[in-house]
Amino acid sequence: MLAGEGGSAAFARFVQTMNAITPVLETRDLTIRFGGHVAVNAVSCAFRPGTLTAIVGPNGAGKTTYFNLISGQLPATAGRVLVKGEDVTRLSASARTRRGLGRAFQLTNLFPNLTVFENVRLAVQARVGAGLDLFTLWSDRRDLIAAADVILERVRLTDKRETMVSALPHGDQRKLEVALLIALEPEVFMFDEPTAGMSLDEVPTILDIIRELKADRSKTILLVEHKMDVVRSLAERIIVLHNGALVADGAPTEVMASKIVREAYLGQELDDE
């Protein structure tokens, strides 16, 4: 059933080379409690450049909460988040973004009464750090405008440039969500179910973008995804969260074969094949 490519041996070699490179992002015993409920439970994991890691797990496993702890939308109860060796656990979300963590949201989270173009331009402007300029005209920053237009072209939203985001169909809002993330040019890309709710013909646009990012071996990509075919076609590594704990970590073939994962989450889908 699992292609005989010597999964575990290849992965062992891969792990060896990867360990030589310092992790861009690392969580150590990262934990958050909501009252008595432990949503993320002592997750330790390192992410190195040039890898796409898929984070899978059943609904309520804590995947999005784990993302929120990493990117700073939620404060950790315990544990640490390190970016390039620097402890960012106490830093605000904006400070983490400026240190190279880029985040796209699962529930579309945009600027509703601004145009599609302005949404992207704001992200470009955030990246170059031009926001504290009070006296230049925004329309004189041609560099920002041009950069935003390139990104709109890339996610195929150029024809919707002047549309208000509130009037945009759901699929286009998802594309714009991805556009904001790539406009930030982060070192770590965090995609939270980027294709959720998209129509089938729109999905390839997003997957192509993720593939392009992956081809640039300097980027670190974290991907929360439910669709197993997407995970299989993109991921070099899978980590599995279950009830807030990290229960498996390894090469896709290895993880999908492991008993705990099949029981916890993947069983059904593997049986279907």
Q: Which residues bind other proteins (CB under 8 A)?
A: 71, 73, 92-95, 97-98, 103, 105, 109-114, 118, 121-123, 125-127, 130-139, 141, 144, 180, 184
Q: Are 202 and 156 in contact (CB under 8 A)?
A: no
CB of 192 to other proteins, least distance (A): 12
The residue (of 137 and 200) whose beta carbon lies closer to other proteins is 137
CA distance 120 to 110: 10
CB of 76 to other proteins, least distance (A): 17
- The CB-of-194 to other proteins minimum distance in angstroms stands at 15
CB nearer to other proteins: give 34 or 138: 138
The residue whose two tokens read 């009464």 is 113
**Residue number with CB closer to other proteins (120 or 240):** 120
Residue 142 is encoded by which pair of tokens?
Answer: 């041609």
Q: Closer CB to other proteins, residue 112 or residue 267?
A: 112
Rounded to 5 degrees, what are φ and ψ at 33?
A: -115, 135
CB of 81 to other proteins, least distance (A): 15
- Could you give the CA distance from residue 25 to residue 84 in angstroms, rounded to a whole number? 6
Give the span between the Cα atoms of 128 and 194, in whole angstroms.
Answer: 25
State the pairing for strand pair 78-83/25-34: antiparallel
Q: What is the dihedral of CA 212, 220, 53, 9, to 10 degrees?
A: 100
Q: How far is the CB of 180 from other proteins (least distance, A)?
A: 7
Name which of 157 and 184 has its Cβ closer to other proteins.
184
Q: Decide whether 64 or 253 has the Cβ nearer to other proteins.
A: 64
Cα distance between residue 221 and residue 213, in whole Å: 8
Q: How far is the CB of 135 from other proteins (least distance, A)?
A: 6
- HSE-CB of 172 using CA atoms within 13 angstroms: 20
